[in-house]
Chain A
Amino acid sequence: MMFAGVVVAFVGFAIAFASLGVSDSTSVRLGMVLAGIVVSLIGIMGVITPAYQKTWIYRK
């Protein structure tokens, strides 16, 4: 699951980067970049973190 989170985090970056080619509008780019940041945060905090917490050393 941690690697799934890594993929999601990278997809967020890809969304932000893609905004450069999708539109010349600053507002559209702002929206896409913010969406990309949110997706990356979901990948880190919503996917990687729960997977990480399952492998805590004190639970082994």
Chain B
Amino acid sequence: MTKKIVFVLALVSCLAGAGAAWAQAPAAAAPAAAATPITDAELKAAVKPTDRANGDPDGSLTGTATDIAVSDAKAGLTVADVLNQIGANRIGVNFAWTLLCGFLIMFMQAGFAVVEAGLCRAKNANHTMMMNFMVYGVGMLAYFLIGFPLQMGGAGAVANLGGTPVLANEFVVHLFGKDIGLFGNTGYMLMHKGTYDVAVMVIFLFQMVFMDTTTTIVTGTLCERWKYAAFMVSTMFLGAFTYPIFANWAWGGGWLAMLGSNFGLGHGYADFAGSGVVHSVGGITALACAFILGPRIGKYTKDGRPNPIPGHDIMWVLCGCFILAFGWFGFNPGSTLAMSGNGGLRASSVAVNTMLAGMTGSFGGILYMWIRYGKPDASMSGNAFLAGLVAITAPSGFVNPIAAAVIGLIAGVLVCISCEFVERVLKVDDPVGAISVHGTNGIWGVIATGLFADGKSNYGGSWNGVNGNVTGLFYGDMGQLVAQLMGVATLIGFVFVLSFIFNVFVDWFVGQRVSAKSELAGLDIPEMGAVAYPDFVLKPETVTSA
């Protein structure tokens, strides 16, 4: 009995002493605890496999001390083995959680595909689907070759995933007396400088599907008139440079993330799951490209009034919205990168905030359209649902449920107003409303974080290297709001400019827009060589006149 007490005390003291160090150490590192053999008496107390001769209907005999991996069969089970197993279990749980959430986000590509295809005309359905299909591969290739190292090459150790010390090369310039991180420089093709590493692989997968979400936003705005070759080149650049650079600044240890530690602005730019990094970058790039491509033929009359061009399948649109909402449970809760330790359990709060904002967003949009136009418009209801989800993406990890509901409600109304503004004032043709859903509401989400963050979240005692919890203006920290607004200024003043300039070059060398003849005929045959619905007779001209 005394030996058992000594063993338990040794175990507890080792856990308390080594816990913090373990979070940063590679999984294979030797534990700090001494290798104390467990006695025969203690092993006898453990359950033996023979105890399960009659099965284990209640599960009480499965998963016991006998299931702990032993490093040396001759020495038998040791305290070091037990501690190693505890660490491996924690990191294993976090790996499983992050990977599964990444798989959910990957499935969002299907949601985007059917939403965008449903909102375009039938004569362009194959072309729109093919853009959404290849955006996955083209974006991933660019990210694998160049984008990932630029974004995460200097991110440093991610404790929840067992530490990633190899991601430690950030290119910085010295400005205003501080180091300003501009881009990472480690991890090319996942083999460069020791990045052939299990934790790096998890981060790559999770970050890659985020990047792909950004690239697929653009295809929605530019559908029905975008040349396929131009789409591939433009997407390659977005996945290789535009997205990774801003993502590095926000998530990879770049200057926006360091606004708190370097300049005393709250906890630096805080974007929990990417309202700004993912959605605004996509929406703003879509706006820049839409300026270059112009509207579809027939969208505007000669006096500038917009014509409605309805999509061909509203059922796909709303079904796609649900697929996206399902994927969002990977997007936001998965961004804890953990279920065990450092605030991982807060994933439940993040998930509920995500649900609530989507719900209130759809209510906001439906009520706005019902009051203003007399009908609860289906496509705008779907967009409002997505707008609520986009807006809560940045603040989801930092706000309480009531704030989440308010943020979503505002987003639902805001997306309707923004769609009207983009169509009638800017006269930019956005067939799916992506600029408003992702661009406008992504910015709203970034600002909302600086307003509503309640200081109750705790992801390991600090955020972006600043002790304490992210706290917005309504809870006393104006500096956090300034950091968020700095992110907004960067999005519209830097990301927009970078996207615009590059896509002008694409226009010069490749040509962004299909011919008028192809556009009127529908892009399926001229661009893809086959129609989406060969058994149906399509209307040759589906543009309505004002």
Specify which of A6, A45, A56 is in contact with B497 (CB 8 Å cutoff): A6
* Interface residue stretch chosen among B208-216, B312-320, B372-380, B476-484: B476-484
Kindly provide the distance from the CB of A57 to the nearest chain B CB, expressed in whole angstroms.
Answer: 5
| Contact present for A21 and B489 (CB under 8 Å) | no
| Contact present for A16 and B297 (CB under 8 Å) | no
Chain B residue contacts of A34, Cβ below 8 A: 485
Interface string of A8-37 (1 = CB under 8 A from B): 011111111101110010110110011011
| Contact present for B427 and A56 (CB under 8 Å) | yes
Q: Does B389 contact A (CB under 8 A)?
A: no
| Contact present for B291 and A13 (CB under 8 Å) | no
Chain B residue contacts of A52, Cβ below 8 A: 291, 294, 427-428
Interface string of B452-494 (1 = CB under 8 A from A): 0000000000000000000000000011011001101110111
Q: A2-B291, A21-B175, A52-B294 are in contact. Are A16 and B426 (CB under 8 A)?
A: no
Chain B residue contacts of A17, Cβ below 8 A: 486, 489-490
Specify which of A10, A20, A48 is in contact with B493 (CB 8 Å cutoff): A10
CA–CA, A26 to B175, complex, Å?
A: 18
CA–CA, A59 to B303, complex, Å?
A: 10
Chain A residue contacts of B146, Cβ below 8 A: none
CA–CA, A30 to B481, complex, Å?
A: 8
| Contact present for B176 and A21 (CB under 8 Å) | yes
Residue in B closest to A57 when the chains form the complex, CB atoms: B294
| Contact present for A44 and B492 (CB under 8 Å) | yes
Chain B residue contacts of A12, Cβ below 8 A: 489, 492-493
The number of residue pairs between A and B whose CB atoms lie closer than 8 Å in the complex comes to: 101
| Contact present for B489 and A16 (CB under 8 Å) | yes
Q: Does B142 contact A (CB under 8 A)?
A: no
Name A31-60 residues within 8 Å CB distance of B: 33-34, 36-37, 39-41, 43-45, 48-49, 52-53, 55-59
Chain A residue contacts of B478, Cβ below 8 A: 26-27, 30
Interface string of B280-315 (1 = CB under 8 A from A): 000000010001001101101110100000000000
| Contact present for A16 and B497 (CB under 8 Å) | no
Residue in A closest to B297 when the chains form the complex, CB atoms: A57
| Contact present for A37 and B489 (CB under 8 Å) | yes
Chain A residue contacts of B413, Cβ below 8 A: none
| Contact present for B501 and A58 (CB under 8 Å) | no
CA–CA, A17 to B486, complex, Å?
A: 7
Q: Does B204 contact A (CB under 8 A)?
A: no
Specify which of A2, A29, A37, A59 is in contact with B492 (CB 8 Å cutoff): A37
Specify which of B175, B259, B485, B516 is in contact with A30 (CB 8 Å cutoff): B485
Chain B residue contacts of A27, Cβ below 8 A: 478
Chain A residue contacts of B500, Cβ below 8 A: 6
| Contact present for B427 and A33 (CB under 8 Å) | no
CA–CA, A44 to B516, complex, Å?
A: 27
| Contact present for B264 and A24 (CB under 8 Å) | yes
Q: Does B107 contact A (CB under 8 A)?
A: no
Chain B residue contacts of A6, Cβ below 8 A: 497, 500-501
| Contact present for B488 and A29 (CB under 8 Å) | no
Kindly provide the distance from the CB of A18 to the nearest chain B CB, expressed in whole angstroms.
Answer: 9
Kindly provide the distance from the CB of B225 to the nearest chain A CB, expressed in whole angstroms.
Answer: 9
| Contact present for A59 and B497 (CB under 8 Å) | no
CA–CA, A19 to B490, complex, Å?
A: 13
Chain B residue contacts of A33, Cβ below 8 A: 482, 485-486, 489
13 contacts between A and B (CB under 8 A): A2-B291, A6-B497, A9-B492, A14-B493, A16-B485, A26-B478, A27-B478, A33-B486, A45-B426, A52-B294, A56-B295, A57-B294, A58-B297
With A10-B497, A13-B497 known, 7 other A-B pairs at CB within 8 A are A6-B497, A17-B489, A20-B259, A33-B485, A41-B492, A52-B428, A59-B302
